Amino acid sequence: QNQKQVILDLVKEYQIEDKVDLNDFTKHPLEEFKKSKASLLTSEYEGFGLTVMESIEVGCPVIAYDVRYGPGEIIEHGENGYLVEPDNIEAFAAYMDKIIKNPLTKVETKNTLKYEQAKNNYQKLFERLK
């Protein structure tokens, strides 16, 4: 059974059809992030999360499990999203509720991840390689 059908079945089972919308694939994810209260990353492991960066860059906070490598490098807990203990579904749901009731209003990319900082870091690296 495909994942979409599993989700649809759960939505029906819990009688939350009025609270859940499933949308089709989009070629314009940044527009969807802009319209959203938050984006959710439920991966058990993650590399450096480009989708997390994209979401935050357009002002959409991210709720993610604090798994190795990715989310913890990008998300400032309580500032541009929330980091949740891995596999703690109850805490993840609580942050989903929290972000609906108390949206994060100043969602920005960490200074250390901005373009100018990256450019400066590369410049320093290249100078050391001379």
Spatial CB neighbours of 103, under 8 Å, sequence gap ≥ 6: 37, 61
pTM of the model: 0.79
d(CA 53, CA 103): 18
Beta-strand (E) ranges in the chain? 39-41, 62-65, 81-84
Residues 21, 100, 110, 46: is their CA dihedral positive or negative? Answer: negative
Q: Could you tell me the domains of the chain?
A: 27-129 (3.40.50.2000)
The answer to whether 19 and 26 are in contact (CB under 8 A) is no
pLDDT of 114: 65
pLDDT of 55: 94
d(CA 71, CA 43): 10
Is 82 exposed, middle or buried, given 0-12, 13-18 or 19+ CB atoms closer than 10 A?
buried
pLDDT of 123: 84
Angle at 64 between CA 105 and CA 76, to 5 degrees: 50
pLDDT in tens, the chain (130 residues): 588 899 999 999 999 999 888 888 899 999 999 999 999 999 887 766 788 989 999 999 999 999 887 798 899 999 999 999 999 999 999 999 999 999 998 999 877 676 777 777 778 888 888 7
